[in-house]
Amino acid sequence: MDDQAPNYRREFLGSPHHAALGLVTLGLGFLSASLLGLIVGGTLYTLGWLHLPDMPLFRRWVDRRRETAQRAAEAQKVADFVRRRDALLDSLSASRRERYSRLAAVCRDIETASADNPLASPDPASDPRLRKLDELMWTYLRLLGIEQSLE
């Protein structure tokens, strides 16, 4: 997903807030069966169209929905990566899997030691040291796969 700010007016067009606004204002205007009711309903609909997308309630709803979609996309990427890693790990011989597990144990020890460090990032996902350890493990796993394919 992109990091630019959402267009709240465009988001409002397809939202349940817009449907509720239309039902309440225009629907009641039609149900009143009078010209004044239609004019009042249309005016309230127009005012709602102008003001509701700028209200904090609606903006929080849009932001929460975008964050949920972004988290789901990131979780899908992680699941795809784990699936690829597991497939590569399963294709290795027992000795190479043992070598990889030894590296994984060392990396886990480094992670626990760095978590006790006062300079550690409060969010483990943004810590560059842990990201580098993940890159090291992925590169080592790929190298083991290449080594096995060369034999």
- Mean pLDDT per block of 10 residues along the chain (151 residues) reads 72 84 82 84 86 86 92 93 89 90 88 70 67 86 87 81
Q: Looking at residue 1, what is its pLDDT? A: 46
- Secondary structure letter of residue 25 according to DSSP: I
Q: Looking at residue 67, what is its pLDDT? A: 93
Q: Looking at residue 71, what is its pLDDT? A: 94
**Both tokens assigned to 44:** 């309230």
Its pTM stands at 0.62
Beta strands in 16-91 (DSSP E): none
The Cα 77–Cα 40 span in angstroms is 50
